[in-house]
Amino acid sequence: MKKIKHGIKVVFLYFYAIIFASQCFAESSSNSTSKINKRSQQYMEMMNGVFDFVQRNYVDEVDPETLYTGALKGMLSALNDPYTVYLDNSTFRSLNDTTKGKFGGVGLSISKAFISTPEKPAYVEVASPVEDTPGFKAGIQAGDLIISANGTDTSKITMDEVLDILRGPVGEKVDLVIRRGQNIEFPVTLKREMIEVPTVKFGTIKEVEKAGTVGYVRIIEFTPQTAERVQQALDSFKKEKISALIIDLRNNPGGLITSVVDVADKFIDKGPIVSTKSRLAFENSVFTASPRKTTFKKGIPIIVLINKGSASASEILSGALKDNHLAYLVGQRTYGKGSVQQVLPLSSTDGIKITMARYYTPSDTNIDKIGIPPDREVLFPDFTEDGEKQYTELMKSDEIEKVVEQNKNMTEKQIADFAEKLHEKYTAIDLPTLRKLVRNEVTRTKGTMLYDLDWDVQLVAALDILSGTKAEFEELVKNTKTLKELQEEAALKDESLSAEKK
């Protein structure tokens, strides 16, 4: 017993000596610069001391890699920045797979809050589903929460652990429970596929009167190939002699800043496209438009479709076109990711992703955690309480799947007739939504439709705006406010409300 007490006393004195010596060292500084440097050295010595102490004295033998990864995760999570993270072996491998453009997964771009409480569990949120992937075909939407993955509560595991479940060998199944809105919950089983991230889809819309032939380009993600694919779309539209252009950035999670700059440069002929600002001088950059790179004919009306799944690079393009009064934004406020990350390898198998700068739109505005509001807000109708219950019931059933399985080549009339029949049972779900659900199942194995005018109220609203005269559209865009003006207006409103409360 005396030996144990003596051992504890020695350990305590050893640990105390480390801390006391470091504190004394820190207190001896004389100026602020020296103080910061010495404090950094103090903490490094303390960390080294704790690392060594734990490895030597913990009750069980400890793998030094466990302490190393735990220290890095804790250090970066202390910044409370969801985009600054430690990339362990599996995550680093996944990132490399994504960079190459191929990986085994279900096709969901996700985010996860650091802090989880009983009142507000940190479930995984779907930022956006990748087009034509298992997650997209299953109808998972931006804003959906993944409550559990393969039976594991996602609020109780890390982002890395969630990604480990979603990504992996092709052909294996992943069981998810999805929560949509406040009360809708339903199970979804996805089978992993080789995900090749698509970047651009395009075509023309000719079905609507007065609007003429409208070019439609959906940018799914900004990759090294995006600018080239957008140019292919614009070249195609020249032959079609389009009267207007719709750029669909909904559910676009972002991508490379160089890629979005190249795309924006096709529409903007002068001035800044985006700037990055950091406390490090070499991270401060201004990306400026070049007239020789501008390939889209000026004067043709442009509408940009946005929603809460539009993030990062897609917000750069939206903000640049808006601040330059070149486009009219329709839809829903964007996600609000106004920062730039860099991946730094620590070895061949791990690294860190760290926020190095914030980006600013041409009007010198940062939209981080704020997002970009549309010039005209158009929202999809919300479910009533009964609608939520019926939607959950329908999603849990296999009614649609069974009928479509028996009629794989259903026509639009058959889809409409079946939706009418479903509506007799699910009266609180509107017909366009029921037709959309049936249509999704019909096209699930054939690839998605380029657009859906029967269901897509935001696209229909854009076409309605374009049905006016060119002069009316120009006046509409001219009278829109820049992001800086909108933020200044919001700040004045907040000040006014604060003054009223006092």
* Residues assigned a catalytic role: 312, 323, 337
> What CA–CA distance (Å, rounded) separates 39 from 33?
10
Q: Which helix (H) or strand (E) holds 376?
A: strand 376-377
Where does residue 416 rank: exposed (0-12), middle (13-18), buried (19+ CB within 10 A)? middle
Count of all residues that appear for the chain in the document: 502
- Torsions phi, psi for 450 (to 5 deg): -65, -40
> 384 exposed, middle or buried (CB, 10 Å; 0-12, 13-18, 19+)?
exposed
Q: Can you tell me which residue has the tokens 């250090």?
A: 75
Q: Quickly list DSSP for 103-139.
A: EEE--EEEE--S---SSS---EEEEEEPTTSHHHHTT
Within 10 angstroms of residue 408's Cβ, the number of other Cβ atoms is: 10
> CB–CB of 421/415 below 8 Å?
no
Contacts of 338-347 spanning 24+ positions with Cβ under 8 A: 338/366, 338/367, 338/368, 338/369, 338/370, 339/81, 339/83, 339/368, 340/257, 340/276, 340/283, 341/83, 341/84, 343/87, 343/95, 345/92
- Computed on alpha carbons and rounded to an integer, the radius of gyration of the chain in Å comes to 27
Partners of 45 in beta bridges: none
3-state secondary structure of 221: coil
Phi, psi of 291 (to 5 degrees): -55, -35
